[in-house]
Amino acid sequence: MQITATELSKLLNGTIEGNPNITVNRPSKIEEGGEGTITFLANPKYAEYAYTTTASILLVGKDFKATQPIAATLIRVENVYESLAFLLNQFGATQGQKAKGVIDKSASIDSAAIIGQDVSVGKFSIIEKGCKIGESTIIYPQVHIAENVTLGKNCKIYPGVKIYHGCEIGDNCILHANVVIGADGFGFAPKEDGTFEKISQIGNVVIESNVEIGSNTTIDRGSIGSTTIKKGVKIDNLVQIAHNVSIGENTVIASQAGIAGSTKIGKNCMIGGQVGFAGHLTIADGSKFQAQSGIGSNIKEPNKAYFGSPIMDYKDYIRSYGVFKKLPEIYRSLGRIEKEMNKFKE
């Protein structure tokens, strides 16, 4: 893809400062640059690179004020991150794509499966009986879709994904490599002799539309009923979601988070990496959790931020941590005071 500054500014509804005819054909990081690339400045921490970058075009916010000359042509936009997301989608539109409607001869598709128009199926993928695959969905190599799975239209299912029987996935979903949907929940009943008896997990997983799930994430089926991922949810790599969990609309979850069984997460929540939730909790809409936080009780008040394990109010945690760092110094000071008091007593 090759495009001029003028064409870019029209696409992004931006304004140009510099050469309107300069062309770019790929994006770059601001600190690396390179002739013929477009880069961006959204985080003030990288402002110094605006003056040294060798990129041809630099995307900046409308309120950016340069303190010295900049060699790159500037395109000023209202929201740098939104504009960047749009551009990356344009540059990446053809990367890694399979041709529509191509089913590899090595793929195994049951005769009772219903395959929509323009579905692509890669090498050695398996689609079992009773499955329904929506139009224009792309199934990459070595994917296993078990019996009676429903998969919506315009989905991308990357290599190694496993979708167990009876699960339902909506439209425009992306499942990255080695995602497992619908494995048994961790259900075992303790017996008198100290062993554990497996509890059958007879529910399923329901994933609504416009959900993206990162590599090696696992979502367990409900023991009874469904594990539910609502529309617009974005889940990072290496996340574990247990049986009968519900994740609300447009919630985002970072890598290595874990959610125990039957916990209900509200909509528009933000969950950092390695955050852990105990089971059977209810979490209010708009809750935000800093990385490595631990949640062991219900959260009823919406739109609050938390940190720590066990969690506390984010601002209280930051203030408390400031004191915690000084504890060794405070301890030494108390020791000196104790010595002086002992001398005084003597």
Considering the domain architecture, whether residues 115 and 208 belong to the same structural domain is answered as: yes
The proportion of the chain whose per-residue pLDDT surpasses 70, expressed as a percent, equals 98
Considering the domain architecture, whether residues 301 and 180 belong to the same structural domain is answered as: yes
Considering the domain architecture, whether residues 128 and 225 belong to the same structural domain is answered as: yes
Rounded CA separation 285/301 (Å) = 8
Q: What is the pLDDT of residue 37?
A: 94
Q: Is residue 332 part of a domain?
A: no
Considering the domain architecture, whether residues 177 and 76 belong to the same structural domain is answered as: no
Q: Is residue 281 part of a domain?
A: yes
What is the CATH number for 116? 2.160.10.10
Mean pLDDT of 154-170: 97
Q: Is residue 145 part of a domain?
A: yes
Residue 227 has pLDDT above 60, yes or no: yes
Active site residue: 144, 165, 243, 280, which one? 243
What is the CATH number for 82? 3.40.1390.10
Residue 101 has pLDDT above 70, yes or no: yes
Rounded CA separation 1/265 (Å) = 41
How many Cα atoms sit within 13 Å of 164 on the Cβ side? Answer: 18
Phi, psi of 212 (to 5 degrees): -125, 135
pLDDT band for position 89 (50/70/90)?
confident
Q: Is residue 335 part of a domain?
A: no
Q: Is residue 99 part of a domain?
A: no
Measured distance between the N- and C-terminal CA atoms of the chain, rounded to whole angstroms:
85
Q: Is residue 337 part of a domain?
A: no
Instruction: Dump pLDDT digits (tens) for 255-278.
Output: 999 999 999 999 999 999 999 999
Residue appearing with tokens 């003028």: 6
Longest alpha-carbon distance in the chain:
96
List Cβ neighbours of 142 (8 Å cut-off, separation of 6 or more). Answer: 122, 123, 124, 125, 159, 160
Residue 94 has pLDDT above 60, yes or no: no
Q: What is the pLDDT of residue 118?
A: 95
Q: Which of 66-75, 84-93, 136-145, 321-330 has the lowest mean pLDDT?
A: 84-93
Under a CB-based contact definition with an 8 Å cutoff, are residues 244 and 202 in contact?
no
Give the dihedral sign, CA 75/78/80/83: negative
Q: Please identify, among 31, 60, 91, the residue that sits at the C-terminal boundary of a domain.
A: 91
Element (H, E) at 16: strand 15-17
User: Across the chain, what does the average pLDDT equal?
Assistant: 94
Considering the domain architecture, whether residues 299 and 259 belong to the same structural domain is answered as: yes
Q: Is residue 303 part of a domain?
A: yes
Considering the domain architecture, whether residues 146 and 295 belong to the same structural domain is answered as: yes
Q: Is 176 a catalytic residue?
A: no
Considering the domain architecture, whether residues 46 and 169 belong to the same structural domain is answered as: no
Domain count, the chain: 2
Considering the domain architecture, whether residues 60 and 207 belong to the same structural domain is answered as: no
Considering the domain architecture, whether residues 204 and 307 belong to the same structural domain is answered as: yes
Instruction: Dump pLDDT digits (tens) for 234-254.
Output: 999 999 999 999 999 999 999
Residue 73 has pLDDT above 70, yes or no: yes
Q: Please identify, among 91, 116, 149, the residue that sits at the C-terminal boundary of a domain.
A: 91
Q: Please identify, among 56, 91, 126, the residue that sits at the C-terminal boundary of a domain.
A: 91
Considering the domain architecture, whether residues 63 and 199 belong to the same structural domain is answered as: no
Rounded CA separation 181/198 (Å) = 19
Boundaries of domain holding 22: 3-91
Mean pLDDT of 304-314: 93
Considering the domain architecture, whether residues 85 and 138 belong to the same structural domain is answered as: no
Considering the domain architecture, whether residues 121 and 197 belong to the same structural domain is answered as: yes
